[in-house]
Structure 1
Amino acid sequence: MRRVDADNLGAWLIKGNADHADLTGRFAREPRVTRWCVQPSYRLELMRAGQPVLFWASGSRRRDIPYGIWGLGRLAGPPDRDAAEGGWSVPLDLVISPEAGRVRRELLRADTELAALEVFRQPQAANPSFVTRREFAAIARHLAA
């Protein structure tokens, strides 16, 4: 696994699996995402309010869902641990885009600048994932298209 540091961080990438939760239904009802779970690692120490964050929807390729980048926002603060449940999460200021504004996994995978995305190399890795500055610039071009 490639290490991330402040010098090469372009954005955090938070993943949700549509095979385990009804992401489409949830975000149709409420597109604003204010918190998402993350797993403890050295990466949590690097997370700061204001850093860009992408939402990546994943799931079975047999389903007709446009997996890929569904939203862009910012971290609203550092990760924290839920005292009652013990899990970690991060506060977000992120809105899921309407379907027409989402960038499909296939389009991103076809971009040679994004071939080494961590989410492609290690799709089962725990949250948070990350994209480099260069990768984030390429993703931003797709989001603007």
Structure 2
Amino acid sequence: MSRLGPGDVACWVLKSTRPPELIDPGWREGTVLGLTRCVRRSYRLDLVHPGQPCLLWVSGRTDPGVHALGEVTGGAEERDGGPVLPVRLTRLPSPVARADLLADPVARDAEVLRMPAGSNPSWLSPQQYAAVLAHLPPHPDAALGPWPV
């Protein structure tokens, strides 16, 4: 695939080398946190809009995979260090493991798995996003229903 279009992206993938407890030591499992994530300046930022789904992908050797999911809350903003994207994320009680997604016949083709050092934000197609959602751990408070997506 060359250039992404609006219909290609079902979910934005924001990558981090730091796990949630290092991003914010008070960020508990099952809780929501508003924050900004550094992103790379590219045409992709023109495709990102408030309300779109996003997730936090932690790379590295310790628990790589999806650690939080939520939504974009604003457009990309320029800061001293470059562009950032405001998001609201709910921390999962356990990550969706990279190994589980590599074993999934649909998810394994996701850009973040094929090209881990690729662009930030990365993205998931509608089918890949559905595959990731199918791997989510149960919500810690069953009375609240499924994870917000």
Deviation by residue 1:90-132 (Cα, 9 ceiling, x = unmatched): 0101122223xx2000001000111211011110113100000
CA apart distance, 1:4: 2.1
Give the match's secondary structure for 2:71. strand
Alignment correspondent of 1:36: 37
Alpha-carbon contact 1:34-1:92 (below 8 Å) kept:
yes
CA apart distance, 1:26: 3.5
Q: What is the TM-score of this pair, normalised by structure 1?
A: 0.83
Distance 1:130 1:2, change over 3 A: farther
Indicate whether 1:98 and 2:93 are aligned.
Answer: yes
Runs of at least 5 residues in structure 2 that lack an aligned partner in the other structure: 139-149
**The one of 112, 115, 121 aligned to 1:128:** 121
**The one of 87, 96, 109 aligned to 1:116:** 109
Indicate whether 1:58 and 2:93 are aligned.
Answer: no
Q: How does 1:6-85 map to 2 (within 5 A)?
A: 6-18=6-18, 23-31=20-28, 32-60=33-61, 65-82=62-79, 85=80
Q: Equivalents in 1 of 2:3, 2:64: separation in Å?
A: 25
Alpha-carbon contact 2:53-2:70 (below 8 Å) kept:
yes
Alignment correspondent of 1:89: 84
Runs of at least 5 residues in structure 1 that lack an aligned partner in the other structure: none
Alignment correspondent of 2:145: none
Q: What is the TM-score of this pair, normalised by structure 2?
A: 0.81
Distance 1:107 1:87, change over 3 A: same
Of all paired residues, the percent bearing the same amino acid is 32
Paired residues, number: 134
CA apart distance, 1:53: 0.1
CA RMSD of aligned residues (A): 1.8
